[in-house]
Amino acid sequence: MQSDTKRSVIILLFLTLAVLLMAGFYGRAWWQNRALGREDGFIFVTDIDRWRKTAREREVTARYDLSLGPQLHDFPLQLGDWTGEDVPQTNVEVQILLEPEEYVYRRYRNAEGDILWLSIIGSRQTKSFHPPQICYDAAGWRTDIASEVVPLDAGELYAMQVLAQKEDWTHLVLYFFLYPDHLRDPGQGMVLFKVTAPVTHSQADALARAKAFIRLVFSEAR
């Protein structure tokens, strides 16, 4: 009898600890969420990983509505010195395998003839997202991965950087994930924001162009 009582007490202690840990996690997220939406612009939570929170998670203010929905296609075609055009997504495998709810795919050019590619993918399914380097690796590109800081008007956000090389081609990619709040519930939707800069002059120039483009979209981070 004493053994059963002791076992019951241990189980109760473990359950209590689990409840307290969950309450602490969701309570912290709830308090953080109270601050969202208080400032001008559209507030999101960004991170470089879709599976777990990292130390590079940030609250950011966007100048445009990048929440999951058809308004993603209203993202401006004219952005600073960049003029964009929608590019039809002809890769049927992308639609079948990823099944994104929203997919914006554009090519932007500036007066100097430089090109940037913008991909915005929105979905409530985790299967819709995978690190871009997977596609490059599958196509025979050599890739190097690192995290990169992007200074904004105030604060900074973090992106994953992919440097992909194949024969005479080099692409520099910056991407990160956008969540509506700190709870990061997949059911509320998630968005991948990705900028690809072909390296035509130098890697440093491509990186500077990609960062400058991101700064046209996001004004501050906390």
Q: Tell me the domain boundaries of the chain.
A: 1-34, 40-221
Pull the structure tokens for residue 182. Answer: 């700190």
**What is the pLDDT tens value at each position of the chain, 222 positions in all?**
556 666 665 665 555 554 444 444 444 444 444 444 445 789 999 999 888 899 999 999 999 999 999 999 999 999 999 999 999 876 666 666 677 889 999 999 999 999 999 999 999 887 777 788 888 888 889 999 999 999 999 999 999 999 999 999 999 999 999 999 999 988 889 999 999 999 999 999 999 999 999 999 999 999
Q: What is the pLDDT of residue 86?
A: 95
Residue pair 125/95 in contact (Cβ under 8 Å)? The answer is no
Strands (E), the chain: 42-47, 58-62, 78-79, 82-86, 102-109, 115-123, 142-151, 156-166, 169-179, 190-198, 218-221
C-alpha dihedral sign at 127, 128, 132, 137: positive
Q: To which residue do tokens 């004004």 refer? A: 219
Q: What is the pLDDT of residue 87?
A: 93
Q: What is the pLDDT of residue 8?
A: 62
Q: What is the pLDDT of residue 12?
A: 58
